[in-house]
Amino acid sequence: MSCFQTLTDYGLRAIGLGVRGLPKADISLCDQIVLIGSGMIWNIYFAVIALFLGFFAATTIAFAKNSSVALFRIPSSIFIFLLRGSPLFIQFFIVYETFVLLPKVGIDLNLLIAEITIETRWLTRAWLGALIVLFLNTTAYSAQIFYGAIQSIPIGDIEAAQSLGLTDKQINKRIILPTMLRLSWSSYTNEAIFLFHATALVFFSSFPAWQQKGDSLYYASYFADKTFNPFVPYPIIAIFFIIFTLIIIYIFNSIDKRLNKHI
Amino acid sequence: MFDYCVDPQSLDGFYWWSCYLTTVKHISFYKSFLVVFALLGVTVPLILIFGFMGAVARQSKLYPIRLFGITYTSIVRGVPDIIFFLFVPIALDQGIEYLRHKIKCPDWTDPIRQGNDFVVCQLAKMPMGSTEQWIHETYGFFLAALAFSIVFGAFAANTINGAINAIPRAQIETGVAYGMSRKQIFMRIQFPQMWAYALPGLSNLWMILIKATPLLFLLGVQDIVYWARELGGTKTARFTYPHEDWRLGYFIVLLVFYLLLSWLSEIFFNKLTLKVTKGQATLSGMNNKNSGKSSS
């Protein structure tokens, strides 16, 4: 079987397209590269959506933790403590078990264009359930990073804005928010890399891989089990992760340049 | 455990719980918390050694050693830790058996990799096939601990490397002016001071290490996650203590355990920071020096 054939058979196997049965005997290097690469689709999906939504949630929570109103400050502090103080691995288990215990019902959501039935059983599937865990986790870590940055904004900047007659809302938007991002960006880049690496835990640890649709580590360990040779699949997945980590660093550094353009 | 536990079906309320929570399996669950501390106890010294050696390698004047240090730290940082945890134990296991096979069975002619099998002679098995179960388990635990140390050692190497570089240049120049050798400068100026600079990074690493300990479960070690799943799963009426799916409850116990551990560590590190930065010309060092005198 040519490598091109393998690519068409297994290139999108991780999302359920292509040949159903995984290669069992005579596993070639090409099989391993293609399937592990196919699994990367899930890792990228989780990382991109969790980071994107987490960014906005984290900003909100960082401001809430910095607020002088106890009603905002205390819940956000507790949220951050709970999610930063416990292992992600345990969080996956807890959330999965909670979602399994939920009653299986469908909620009809009437959008203007179409009617969608939201079903609670989706929560026990990785694409939604694990995404929620990763989203909450990155929100807590990023919120703490942003909060630390808010705390270290030079007080003179804020006083200058006040003396210019800016309102609190304007100060938040024009002084605190941009300075916060600038100060925290290198730590936030680290968090993005950590989250991307954390996506490898999803299928491997808690959420079942339905119909063998798993992420890259799911396939890598599948091959390591089948061939009893860890020296091929694990280096392959490592190279995949290094490549995408470099891409993350590149993207975040470009944003960093934009944030620091005026300095 | 207790005398009245002979017939659990007849018990309820407090008595039922007191019996349920003291079964043999529950005692194993409580003991498995020690596995977490054992892992931390074994890995922390190794992490510091690996980290220290990695940092020294990165500072080396010899290019190959420096390249090795840089490669080690950057590869480990670029790849998810879980991949190393899965790879290193099995790779070490096969590596050790391969070496023993070459030494102990030199006249073995069959290839070691036969298709999908990894075949070594009986003498080369590590640990020997005939040894007891607990030796196998301990061996697996130490391979896992080594994997943890290699991964976190790379992070520690980065931190320690940064700490060595953070020591004010003027102090090293002073050392040179006094005619100290490179080794003396390292031992007398850089080594004692780097811990203060490395402490924030190392305490952060400790927090990450704590939160990585449940991954032991994936390596087949019978740790707290293993027992939580085992005990929490639905027990039908065939069992002595039937109950529904209680895994959520057991996992919440683990959650509380980890929250407590993180919280106590944070308090400890805040105290330690105060101690090691004492007398240093940094913000925290100055605050510390004044804290005794002024009330502000």
Q: What is the mean pLDDT of each run of 10 residues along chain A (263 residues)?
A: 78 79 79 90 94 96 92 94 92 89 72 69 84 95 93 88 92 91 90 92 81 86 86 92 92 90 78
Q: What is the pLDDT of residues B44-63, one digit of tens each?
A: 999 999 999 999 898 888 89
Q: What pLDDT score was predicted for residue B11?
A: 72
Q: How would residue B293 be classed by pLDDT, with cut points 50, 70 and 90?
A: very low
Dig out the tokens for B161 from the structure.
Answer: 């490397």
Q: Do A90 and B118 touch (CB under 8 A)?
A: no
User: Both ends of chain A: CA-CA distance in Å?
Assistant: 57
Rounded Cα–Cα distance for residues A132 and A134 (Å): 6
Residue B296 scores a pLDDT above 50: no
Average pLDDT score over residue span B266-278? 84
- Distances in whole angstroms, Cα of residue A167 to Cα of each of A61, B61, B224: 21, 56, 53
- Distance (Å) from the alpha carbon of B162 to chain A's nearest alpha carbon: 16
Rounded Cα–Cα distance for residues B260 and B252 (Å): 12
Any domain includes B59: yes
Q: Do A89 and B258 touch (CB under 8 A)?
A: no
Average pLDDT score over residue span B111-127? 70
Average pLDDT score over residue span B225-235? 85
Any domain includes B225: yes
Any domain includes B13: no
Any domain includes B190: yes
Supply the DSSP symbol for B132.
Answer: -
Residue B278 scores a pLDDT above 60: yes
Rounded Cα–Cα distance for residues B205 and B210 (Å): 9
Q: Domain limits at B241?
A: 42-291
Any domain includes B15: no
What totals of helices (H) and strands (E) does chain A contain, helices first?
A: 11, 2
Q: Which of B82, B213, B259 has its CB closest to that of A201? A: B82
Q: Which of A87, A217, A224 has its CB closest to that of B258? A: A87
Nearest to A57 by CA among A158, A134, A148, A124: A134
Rounded Cα–Cα distance for residues B187 and A180 (Å): 40
Q: What's the number of domains chain B is made of?
A: 1
Q: Do A81 and B255 touch (CB under 8 A)?
A: no
Supply the DSSP symbol for B238.
Answer: T
Q: What is the pLDDT of residues B131-186, one digit of tens each?
A: 777 888 888 888 889 999 999 999 999 888 888 888 888 889 999 999 999 889 98
Nearest to B215 by CA among B96, B89, B99, B126: B89
Q: What pLDDT score was predicted for residue B24?
A: 82
Domains of chain A: 29-259 (1.10.3720.10)
| CATH number (domain holding residue B258) | 1.10.3720.10
Q: Between B173 and B245, whose confidence is greater?
A: B173
Any domain includes B242: yes
Any domain includes B124: yes
Report the range of poorest mean pLDDT among B119-133, B147-161, B253-267: B119-133
Contact A83, A137 (CB under 8 A): yes
Q: What pLDDT score was predicted for residue A45?
A: 94
Cα B139 from chain centre: 15
Any domain includes B125: yes
Supply the DSSP symbol for A18.
Answer: S
From chain A, pick out residues whose CB is under 8 angstroms from the CB of B229: 93
Dig out the tokens for B85 from the structure.
Answer: 């945890």
Q: Do A197 and B245 touch (CB under 8 A)?
A: no
Q: Do A242 and B262 touch (CB under 8 A)?
A: no
